[in-house]
Amino acid sequence: MNTQTLTPPAAGDDLLVLGTLRAAIDHIDHELLQLLARRNDVARDIGLAKRVAARPVFDATRERDHARTLIAAARKLGLGDGLARQLMQLLVRGSFAHQLEAEPEPAVVEAPADSDSFRLARCEPGRPRTVVHVGSARIGAGLFEVIAGPCAVETPDQIGQAADHARACGVRIVRGGAFKPRTSPYEFQGLGLEGLKLLAEAAHARDMAVVTEVTDPADAAEVARHADMLQIGARNMQNVPLLRACARTGRPVLLKRGASATIREWLCAAEYVLIEGNPNVVLCERGIRTFERETRNTLDLSSVVALRGLTHLPVIVDPSHAAGRHEWIAPLCRAAHACGADGLIIEMHPCRELAMCDKRQALSPGQLRAITDELQNVQVVR
């Protein structure tokens, strides 16, 4: 019997094939954009015709029949019903926007009353909203950024797997605790500088940025050598020497709200960073302490809305420390997105049953993927 050996294509040929396929995708994408632009022009003309004829913008029967036609066509093409429905929702919303031609109300920016205690952090006429660059991420630029990773760095394999799963979900900043201020002195306190080096190696090898907590002003400069962003935890929100030390490193600062801090106290803490000449501050709502016992903390999403009128700084949400239970985190992520937050920071462990701290609130990789997929779809519709 004759046998034949299959020879894989040479590296150069393989790259040529890949380049050709990518060029074809790029061409199709440009054609889609041109078709969408033409569709918008036709939608404007339809809106004009409806206004001249005094007809309502929305025709329920027509839209329902057209949706059924698109879904049937998608099935024949093997695209599935879900894609057709999402596409239809996006196109219909775009059509209505062009037909109605509603002019958005201009945003009125005023300095908030009694804000001299946080004069650098407050909104003012002519002061643009801050965008904080962390690696390839742009927090506050309009794209909802997700920061994810384990509560604590435990082993090289654990943090490597966590970074792999986070990267596969589109995460561009990985979190992980190396210095862990725990409620009990008998709980795992982190691996310290060695854990930080493991975190940085795992993230940077995958082209991801690093955010980690600093607990001691003396450690700020050393942590800044490895981390791309420095986190100041809720326990240390009003630790002025720590705020100043982290600010002076020049690294962006993620400032969590204290468990019993008011919004204005939180902004005054941010002011200590800004006054040192570091403009790159991201505020993080992680829940406040109330009489409620079912949740770990009470997530105050109204603070996200309030801060839009008080400060130009971006605001993200930590639902993990608010919920304390992994099964409640996904709805809180949706709520954070809906109320206008700039992103999330959430805990994910590749094997949460073996986590050395906060295993109850850690997401599995599959849960993280479900959340990021859903948020991506919501952003497209928005």
User: Is pLDDT of 150 > 80?
Assistant: yes
User: Average pLDDT, stretch 116-139?
Assistant: 95
User: Average pLDDT, stretch 153-160?
Assistant: 95
User: Average pLDDT, stretch 76-90?
Assistant: 79
User: Is pLDDT of 52 > 80?
Assistant: no
pLDDT of the residue at 3: 46
pLDDT of the residue at 331: 96
The pLDDT confidence band at residue 382, using thresholds 50, 70 and 90, is very low
Q: Give the least confident one: 60-64, 139-143, 306-310.
A: 60-64
The pLDDT confidence band at residue 22, using thresholds 50, 70 and 90, is confident
pLDDT of the residue at 339: 94
- Between 120 and 50, residue with greater pLDDT: 120
Q: Each residue of 315-365: pLDDT tens digit?
A: 999 999 999 999 999 999 999 999 999 999 999 999 989 888 888 999 999
259 token code pair: 């468990």
Q: What is the separation, in whole angstroms, between the first and last Cα of the chain? A: 62
C-alpha neighbours within 13 Å on the C-beta side of residue 135: 22
- Is residue 132 within 8 Å of residue 140, measured between CB atoms? yes
User: Is pLDDT of 379 > 70?
Assistant: no
Residue 173 has phi, psi (to 5 degrees) of -130, 125
Q: Each residue of 219-267: pLDDT tens digit?
A: 999 999 999 999 999 999 999 999 999 999 999 999 999 999 999 999 9
Q: Which residues contact 187 (CB under 8 A, 6 or more apart)?
A: 180, 357
Residue from 323, 100, 141, 200 nearest 334 by CA:
323
Cβ-based neighbour number of residue 109 at 10 Å = 14
User: Is pLDDT of 166 > 80?
Assistant: yes
- Is residue 134 within 8 Å of residue 211, measured between CB atoms? yes
The pLDDT confidence band at residue 10, using thresholds 50, 70 and 90, is low
Map tokens 């078709």 to a residue.
35
Cβ-based neighbour number of residue 301 at 10 Å = 20
User: Is pLDDT of 95 > 90?
Assistant: no
Tell me the residue type at 12.
Answer: G
**Length of the chain measured in residues:** 382
- Between 341 and 93, residue with greater pLDDT: 341
- Between 272 and 374, residue with greater pLDDT: 272
- CA quadruple 121, 287, 134, 341: dihedral, nearest 10: -70
Q: What percent of the chain has pLDDT over 90?
A: 62
Q: Across the strands, what pairs with 282?
A: 254
User: Is pLDDT of 104 > 70?
Assistant: no
DSSP state of 122: B
Residue 83 has phi, psi (to 5 degrees) of -65, -40
Residue from 382, 345, 370, 358 nearest 180 by CA:
358
User: Average pLDDT, stretch 205-213?
Assistant: 96
DSSP state of 340: T
Average pLDDT, the chain: 88
Residue from 213, 178, 214 nearest 194 by CA:
178
Q: Which residues contact 58 (CB under 8 A, 6 or more apart)?
A: 96
Strands 315-317 and 253-256: unpaired
pLDDT of the residue at 302: 97
pLDDT of the residue at 305: 96
The pLDDT confidence band at residue 100, using thresholds 50, 70 and 90, is low
- DSSP 3-state of 39: helix
Q: Which domains does the chain have, with CATH numbers?
A: 22-100 (1.20.59.10), 116-381 (3.20.20.70)
User: Is pLDDT of 102 > 60?
Assistant: no
User: Average pLDDT, stretch 158-166?
Assistant: 95
Q: Each residue of 281-320: pLDDT tens digit?
A: 999 999 999 999 999 999 999 999 999 999 999 999 999 9
Q: Which residues contact 135 (CB under 8 A, 6 or more apart)?
A: 172, 173, 207, 208, 209, 228
Residue 253 has phi, psi (to 5 degrees) of -120, 130
pLDDT of the residue at 376: 79
User: Is pLDDT of 11 > 60?
Assistant: no
pLDDT of the residue at 1: 42
Q: Distance from CA of residue 337 to its chain's centroid?
A: 9
